[in-house]
Amino acid sequence: MLVSIIIANYNYGKYLGRCIRSCMNQSLSERDYEIILVDDFSNDNSIKIANEYSKFINFKIIKNAKNLGVAISANKGFKAAKGKFVVRVDSDDYVTREFLNILSYYLLEYPEILSVSCDYYLVDEKEKKIRKVSSKENPVSCGIMYNKTKLLKLGAYNKTFKHREEEELRIRIGKKYETHHLNIPLYRYRMHASNKTKDIDYQTVYKDKIGFLNFSSNYKKIKSREKKLKKNIIAIIPARGGSKRLKNKNMLKIWGKPMIYWTINEAKKSSYIKNVYVSSENTKIINYAKNCGAKIIKRKKSLSGDKVFKMSVIADAIKKISKYSKPSLVLSLQANSPNISHRDIDKAIEQLIKFNRNEIISVDENYNQNGAIRAMKASSVFQKSLSTDCGFIVTNIADIHTSSDIKKLKKMINNRQ
């Protein structure tokens, strides 16, 4: 078996038939691929719809006895898969006839890589194309085919994650592998009101590649939107005390000052950020951050472990801040990236506002997410996944975790004024 398609479904009976038909209508021989539907305890007509396609020779249905979430459901599919390669197709999306053929051929040609992604079209409920999206524009993309053995060795999705499981996986992948990209739109990503993570105002979706927008026809609307988004921009810097590889990493001295100083200082230099917050449980970090002019979000112990996802910390901080101040945009800035620049911070903010993106993330030259800068509309903080309407800025920002990382960084000392 060459490829296994995994469809994790919950209450998308309305779209499920279209999804399954597109997966069955592949140019790849039927004996070379299978379809595994993992139904996450749906209470609509999903199972009835799925049973209509049971005649397909390699179609399997796995029924969860209770609702487990997409991460666990997808992992079940990966483990049950017989294919050399695995690919997820969301149950409300669909794919083109050459989807499996092209992606699997690429992985066969390059056996050393883990994954390959393709471009895709955003489509509306009636399957009308809205715009083409490059997988390079969106480092967390859809229509990604993986080498199953390598994926399972990485642990696949983190089952403790109730949301943003795809993003967390891609961050882990980026530390070890480079995802290859094909500029062929083989996937169709359906936008519809019942899916909150796909809820984008169609009137504001620009129709060409990043860098183009017709400002003249919508000038008043754009100016109004810019004003609202610039109203209360804040930065949150997560900085816990415990760190395994480098002890007290965030307070380690770089260029004569604790590492966290540089991120706080650059955030304060931003032309747009009104308040800088540091989220920490550590007294030493809290006191130092206060002296640097940052406001403090006291982090509870349950959010201070080394396995806690950064976005959980950001969401916790936003909930606390929103009790007395409603942020319009949120910047997540990394404390262990001392060569972060206020120019890059402002560039991320400007791109988000100008192109009306939901999020802008910083990536390295290989388009892997480096975690240093993340600009978000406040509402995007609580989305289930990194928004498909996500842009990026390419930066050369360090990510300090080991002593060798510090040695590399010290070579840049002459660039720091």
Which residue, of 165, 199, 233, is where some domain finishes? 199
Per-residue b or e along 19-34, where b marks 16 or more CB atoms closer than 10 Å to that residue's CB: bbebbbebebeeebbb
Sole residue written with tokens 């890589």: 113
- Work out the mean pLDDT of the chain and round it to a whole number: 84
- DSSP per-residue letters across 303-355: G-STTS-HHHHHHHHHHHHTTT---SEEEEE-TT-TT--HHHHHHHHHHHHHT
Residues 369, 174: Cα–Cα separation, whole Å = 7
Tell whether 152 and 285 lie within a shared domain. Answer: no
Domain match, 231 and 325 both = yes
Cβ-Cβ contacts under 8 Å for 332 (sequence gap 6 or more): 235, 236, 238, 310, 311, 314, 373, 374, 376
Considering Cα of 44, then 45, then 51, then 56, what sign does the dihedral take? negative
Domain residue limits at 300: 219-415
Distance, in Å, from the CA atom of 409 to the CA atom of 323, rounded to the nearest integer, reads 39
pLDDT of residue 71: 92
Could you read off the pLDDT of 106-129 as tens digits, one per residue?
Answer: 999 888 999 999 989 999 888 999
| Domain identity same for 340 and 401 | yes
Question: Is there a domain that residue 334 lies in?
Answer: yes
Mean pLDDT in order along the chain per 10 residues (417 residues): 97 96 94 97 97 91 95 96 97 95 91 91 90 70 90 90 72 80 89 58 34 40 70 94 82 92 96 96 96 95 83 91 92 93 93 83 73 86 59 82 79 53
d(CA 92, CA 70): 13
Query: Dihedrals φ, ψ of 329, to 5°?
Result: -130, 150
Residues 242 and 127 in one domain: no
Q: Which of 164, 199, 234 is the last residue of a domain?
A: 199
Extract long-range pairs of 297-303: CB within 8 Å, 24+ residues apart. Answer: 297/236, 297/321, 299/238, 299/240
Residue 211 lies in a domain: no
Last residue of a domain, which of 199, 234, 264? 199
Query: Is 208 within the bounds of a domain?
Result: no
CATH classification at residue 29: 3.90.550.10
Distance CA 32, CA 159 (A): 29
Residues with Cβ within 8 Å of residue 338, at least 6 apart in sequence: 254, 255, 259, 261, 262, 263, 398, 400, 409
- Number of structural domains (the chain) is 2
pTM: 0.58
- Contact yes or no for 360/375 (Cβ under 8 A): yes
Ramachandran angles phi, psi of 137, nearest 5°: -70, -25
Is the CB of residue 279 less than 8 Å from the CB of residue 299? yes
- 187 and 229 both lie in a single domain: no
Residue 398 lies in a domain: yes
pLDDT of residue 320: 94
What pLDDT was estimated at residue 2?
A: 97
What pLDDT score does 238 carry? 95
Measured CA to CA, the distance from residue 378 to residue 112 in angstroms comes to 39
Asked if the structure places residue 119 within a domain, the reply is: yes
Shared domain for 328 and 189, answered yes or no, is no
